[in-house]
Structure 1
């Protein structure tokens, strides 16, 4: 998981961002607030590519989860439709999250329908997160190269999608085509 978090941090390309530290702190805070806390998942299902990160307390297996709380968070990324992020907390005692769900809905101003109780008692299935995070990193780097060459973020994403379509491939492979054409002048513009 540490390698996956490092790759995600690199993919975000936000100076000073430390996803591993943030996730670790969130885990500690949740464990301190919820006596029967078992773990959490962060899911970006509509990301490019989709990403799921799960961390569980030592020795916890899916069958130990008796209650869950899923909260939709504001989307990440720029563009017209940022990918929504879901945070799922797991605990071992039924009813643990009832009051928290109501309070969260009120505090963040979201309808209670955006907060789901006990519908996620199994862990989200996720393929190898490291590969997905590397793909996201490659795609973001290619978009960065295209932006460095004068495209807007929207134009860069459009150009990458067209390159994929023209070559009959996926976005990740198209990103490699762009990255393979990086010149010394591209590298200089990225540092500016």
Structure 2
């Protein structure tokens, strides 16, 4: 049976810290709903009411486009080992780009990742747990390094060119502002 909380408990924070993957869901009023898997040890619990993570370059940039139009976001964590549990965080998100002043303040809280493009903050309005008994057991083998190698090989200039070509708008044509509002 599901339970709801106004903030993360110590047990919730420990569960989050143990997870290797999480999912982020966003949407605007019209267009596609986006669900993105995240990992790479990029998530930080800031407080019982806030989490943030470092987002790296990918084939799309839907989350950034959506959050700038509609700040609502859902994050989901699920136990793939141990006791079954699904943990969802509902709230309002904010995206911080490399060109934003807050970037310099926040980036030091993360391990460096090649191709880092945004930091997302989620201000939690509701925490919900559910059983997760239908989620299969899965073994963690290790991190995939292909994205890090790809981004490192491209270099900073290559990544910025990739952003302009592939991360400038969402699949529904919404601006992501990855290069600043003037560049979009």
Asked if TM exceeds 0.5, the reply is no
Relative to its length, the structure with more helix (as a share) is: 1
Larger-gyration structure (1/2):
1
Relative to its length, the structure with more strand (as a share) is: 2
Compute the TM-score of the two structures, normalised by the length of structure 1.
Answer: 0.28
